[in-house]
Structure 1
Amino acid sequence: MSEMSGNTLKSCLQQLKCHFTWSLLEKETDIDVIEERLYNQMIFLVTKNKYMVYNLMAYVMHLKGFYTKAIANLQEAEEKIKENNQDGTDRRYLVTYGDYAWIYYHLKQFEDSQNYIDKIDKINKELKLSPTDSQDIAEIYGEQGWSLIMFCGQYYEKAKECFEKALELAPEDPEWNSGYATVVYRLEGFNGRRCSASECKSLPLLKRAVELSPNDAVVKALLALKLQDLDRGDEGRIYIEEALEQAPNLPYLLRYVAKFYRRAGLVDEALHVLKISLDIMPTSTFLHHQIGLSYKYQMINKKKAFKKKNFQNRQKHTEEIDECIKKAIFHFEKVLEYDKLFVLAHIDLANMYSEAKQYQKTEDTFKKVLTIADLIDEEKQQIHLNYGHFEEFFKKSESEAIKHYKKGIQITKPSKFREYCEDGLKSLGERRILRDHRDALGFGLLGFIYKNNGKISEAIEWYEKALKYDPYNEDYLSDLCDLKLMI
């Protein structure tokens, strides 16, 4: 095929609706983690749409340069479609054939690539759709939504839009209802976001998904967790028990069951369930992270008990606390061994190093996580919040804590982590003023908080107090000048 016709072929390929045109960027995630996750889904996932797992795996194999494996996965996808193609239509093949066409294009097998484009055209004609209208198929929107969810959290908003479009076309489809409920649930808690009962949109969606898919134990578990979020844990426990009865050995379910138990304070029960799951999926980053969190909560509970009770054997109790810290560190390190971009695991590991008094490792871990490319605002705020806590409470360095709290506040994205940075900075400022009513820095910190929240008159008041005791401070003078120009 000539260069001219090769360019024409690529122009046709770019019109297709498949993984190669959905902007699934390798830099956004750890491809090895995605591969592991998909491999586990191939084994354990129970759904008529399992072909979507193989399609996405084919794209992942392309990213890794393994084209023979990519084609093998597309062949598996075809087989899965044939097994479950009850209505006899070929629309489920459209994404698979699009992926085939792109794979063969990359292999420079242009004739094979064109053959799959022709197959897509034939299906579109049978469905009485033009090539540009072929996107208006629920299965395409739904598969795109699931692929976006699987790839990384940064794509959740786009996944939500895809499921909404799928449901416009097929409102009763159980798979798309489950997908929509799942992504809305995840968005409500994504990167520390808060969702009050009045703002909660996922609860009715999860209830509808359970009604349409009563045998989907995983969706039931998500519903249980959402009820727990809304302080309706007893109601959630009913769904957890139903889900466990339906699928007692399903790893995807057990990890959510463990999360429910841990948040209910049943840490031993959570660890029991997680260890069963880990035997089945030993490289699961989610499971290792949840086990690490469970040991962290055991440590917290033992510390609380240690303060309240007069233990006869204090050394034994201290050893138990140290063992929890050691085990938490082991599992958080395992997470990062398998997924170096797991931001929350970096933060949790750094905090556990602090508990173990391994302060250099704490610093190194915080510095390392701050170098991860494409951190979102909430992640940066959470890192600076925890880094600030470390400096304030473990290193006893107010100046370094102030630096990190300020950085968290200067990221203007509203989040609970930004609020906590404000609380930390405000507490430091107020304590300094209590110790010395002439402390200019304390007044300056309060001025900084009000300035970054757009409360101009209050900020001016605090900066003027700061300058009363430190009249030549250039930072205070500059901020005050800027604030007065805003009036």
Structure 2
Amino acid sequence: MSEESHRNPMLENLLQLRCHFTWELLIEDADMPDLEMRISDTELPDTENSMGMHNLLAYVRHLKGQHEEALQSLKEAEALTQREKLDKRSLVTWGNCAWVHYHRDSLADAQTYLDKVENTCKEFASPFRYRMECAEVDCEEGWALLKCGRQNYRRAMACFAKALKVDPENPEYNTGYAIAAYRQDFNDNSISLEPLRKAVRLNPEEPYLKVLLALKLQNLGKPDEARMYIQEAQANTFCQAYVFGYLAKFYLREDFVERALHLLYRALQVKPFSAFLHYQIGICYKRQMIQIKEAANMQPRGQDRERADRLIRLAMLQFQKTLELRPTFETAYVNLAEMYAEAGQFGEAEDNFQKALSIRNLDIIIQQDIHFRYGRFQQFHKRSEDRAITHYIKGLKIEGTSSYARNKLLEALQRLAERRLRQNVRVVESISLLGFVYRLRGDTREALQCYEKALRLTKALNPEF
């Protein structure tokens, strides 16, 4: 049998495997520079998760054409699975090994790993030759999806939910599910609250989960309970760098900016190439700049102006560093754009807003938030109310459930329409905009009154209409 004729049936067998090569992980090319670093920031310090991260690292290195490095990562994953007797999870590692050897044209080695998968499937009485439906592999798929970016989070949550149907009290499965829920949970939602509570109960020594729960409680207006979990997390002796980053996020929301910066720079000593940490530092400098402006009634002068300008520059540097490390970090583009706007560099601000607007596969709420902030840039910096209205409406036309971003868009559009009415500017259009706002808020009576009033004015101004 020729090598080519052997490859085709082998490919059919490989496609049956449950591993990173068949999970359809959505990874943008621009995410690659930052992804290897993020893989090392594991949410769980245990053996199973470490094995999964070695597997994912191998897959990423394969995508970069680094097959030898990929095999080295898989050897490390294999060593962990053998030492800890993680039989079912071994299927993922062996599946990845088979695929890497296949791409290296090492067909005999690929077949060796296919045989290992087949033997294990027989051992556990799987009805499939090269595939096993089990919670352990569902969990591995969930972690891989969770690590590969926002566009994979919904599928990750589904994987952990599937595993939990088999073992509802499993600490790791509950942790994965809670983290996936948290990453899809925005300020006015609480889908992650109970999953996080359960995950903390099952993993009482894990500070990361306590910080996420504290952040969620903070969002929901429960500061006392939130602070209790923050104190417990900080008391844990094995707090890692990524935990400091989330602790800083909590303190920043409490307006303890200096404390947040201290934690972030402490974490940066361990993870100097963390896009997340640089981004949070930029947010801290931005917050300090806003505090100076607010204290000066938005018109800082003298030393206040100098301090504000310095903080703008520092924030810019941090957001630029963030984007060097993770070119698809959409809110970093928006924050950088807003800093350019503060500095009066409107061309650079426009460029960065456009980069944010052009990123694909964004969550609905993030899309809405970008249109809101770009609309504010047009309204208050470029003095273009028409363009501001265009983007407020674009954001509102993005289909999705009610969110904090959607509410901000509605409020911005209503304020703008009402101000125009007071100033007698484009009255018919402004009344129609108010009708649009009322309709989206579900106030049909007010919306109808606005539309009828706009129609009467139109007829009065244009009798032939």
TM-score, with structure 1 as normaliser: 0.88
Find the aligned partners of 1:184 and 1:167 in 2 and give their Cα distance. Answer: 14
Who is 2:194 aligned against?
Answer: 204
User: Of 366, 378, 382, which aligns to 1:379?
Assistant: 366
Who is 2:415 aligned against?
Answer: 427
**Aligned partners of 1:443 and 1:465 also within 8 Å:** no
Who is 2:452 aligned against?
Answer: 461
Q: CA deviation at 1:69?
A: 0.6
Find the aligned partners of 2:311 and 2:460 in 1 and give their Cα distance. Answer: 48
Who is 2:126 aligned against?
Answer: 129
AA matched with 1:390: F
Change (3 A) 1:283 1:245: same
Find the aligned partners of 1:452 and 1:221 in 2 and give their Cα distance. Answer: 35
Q: How does 1:77-156 map to 2 (within 5 A)?
A: 77-85=77-85, 90-131=87-128, 134-156=131-153
Q: Percent identity?
A: 39
Q: CA deviation at 1:401?
A: 1.2
Change (3 A) 1:141 1:351: same
The superposition leaves residues 211-259 of structure 1 with CA deviations (integer Å, 9 ceiling, x where unpaired) of 2222211111112212212222222222222222213651021111111
Change (3 A) 1:216 1:438: closer
User: Of 256, 260, 266, which aligns to 2:256?
Assistant: 266
AA matched with 1:371: S
Could you list the runs of 5+ residues in structure 1 that have no partner in the other structure? 478-487
> Are 1:242 and 2:232 counterparts?
yes
Matched residue SS, 1:341 = coil
Who is 2:45 aligned against?
Answer: 46
Find the aligned partners of 2:62 and 2:460 in 1 and give their Cα distance. Answer: 64
Matched residue SS, 1:24 = coil
User: Of 339, 356, 360, which aligns to 2:326?
Assistant: 339
Change (3 A) 1:362 1:469: farther
Matched residue SS, 1:307 = coil
**Aligned partners of 2:55 and 2:77 also within 8 Å:** yes
Q: CA deviation at 1:413?
A: 2.5
Find the aligned partners of 2:176 and 2:322 in 1 and give their Cα distance. Answer: 26
The superposition leaves residues 376-396 of structure 1 with CA deviations (integer Å, 9 ceiling, x where unpaired) of 433332222111101111122
The superposition leaves residues 406-451 of structure 1 with CA deviations (integer Å, 9 ceiling, x where unpaired) of 2222223233323322322222221111112872332233344456
Q: CA deviation at 1:460?
A: 3.5
**Aligned partners of 1:258 and 1:274 also within 8 Å:** yes
Who is 2:203 aligned against?
Answer: 213
Find the aligned partners of 1:432 and 1:169 in 2 and give their Cα distance. Answer: 59
TM-score, with structure 2 as normaliser: 0.92
Matched residue SS, 1:91 = helix
Could you list the runs of 5+ residues in structure 2 that have no partner in the other structure? none
Who is 1:441 aligned against?
Answer: 429
Who is 1:394 aligned against?
Answer: 381
RMSD over aligned Cα atoms:
2.5
Find the aligned partners of 2:5 and 2:33 in 1 and give their Cα distance. Answer: 36
Change (3 A) 1:171 1:132: farther
Between 376-385 and 271-280, the greater mean CA deviation after superposition:
376-385
Q: CA deviation at 1:172?
A: 2.6
**Aligned partners of 2:55 and 2:73 also within 8 Å:** yes
Find the aligned partners of 2:245 and 2:423 in 1 and give their Cα distance. Answer: 48
Q: CA deviation at 1:160?
A: 0.9
Who is 1:194 aligned against?
Answer: 188
Find the aligned partners of 1:133 and 1:103 in 2 and give their Cα distance. Answer: 16
Find the aligned partners of 2:453 and 2:116 in 1 and give their Cα distance. Answer: 71
**Aligned partners of 1:426 and 1:445 also within 8 Å:** yes
Matched residue SS, 2:46 = coil
Change (3 A) 1:132 1:267: farther
Who is 1:33 aligned against?
Answer: 34
AA matched with 1:119: K
Who is 1:13 aligned against?
Answer: 14
**Aligned partners of 1:254 and 1:277 also within 8 Å:** yes
Change (3 A) 1:470 1:281: farther
Who is 1:481 aligned against?
Answer: none
**Aligned partners of 1:447 and 1:462 also within 8 Å:** no
AA matched with 1:443: I
